Amino acid sequence: MKIHLTLAFAAASLTLTSHAASAIDCATASNPTEKTVCSTPSLLQADARMTAYFEIATQFVGMGVRGDLQDSQTAFPALRNKCDTDKACILAAYKKQTAPLEAVIANVKTHGPF
């Protein structure tokens, strides 16, 4: 079972799409929050983690849940940007956004995909 799950995660990571979950492009960071993320390694890591988890999680849920995750991910930048340059606020926003994605992955790990 563990081998099958590992293979499933590997297959999902090979077919990733980046519709709603695109990591911040630091070369074009356009507002104070994005610039703060880009200049703070722990925030940049949180951004990359959230993006990767989103891409993985959406491969293992049905259309309804996938749509909800996509909507949440699309709305996330506006919520994160309310933090302005407050690093603790930005990190908390990433943690809150990442939590449901981690829950999907943990569920797949425990119960298998679909």
Q: What is the pLDDT of residues 6-33, one digit of tens each?
A: 545 444 444 444 445 578 999 999 999 9
Q: What is the DSSP string of 65-80?
A: HHHHHHHHHHHHHHHH
Give the pLDDT of residue 7: 43
Contact 46/94 with Cβ under 8 angstroms? yes
Residue 67 reports pLDDT greater than 70 = yes
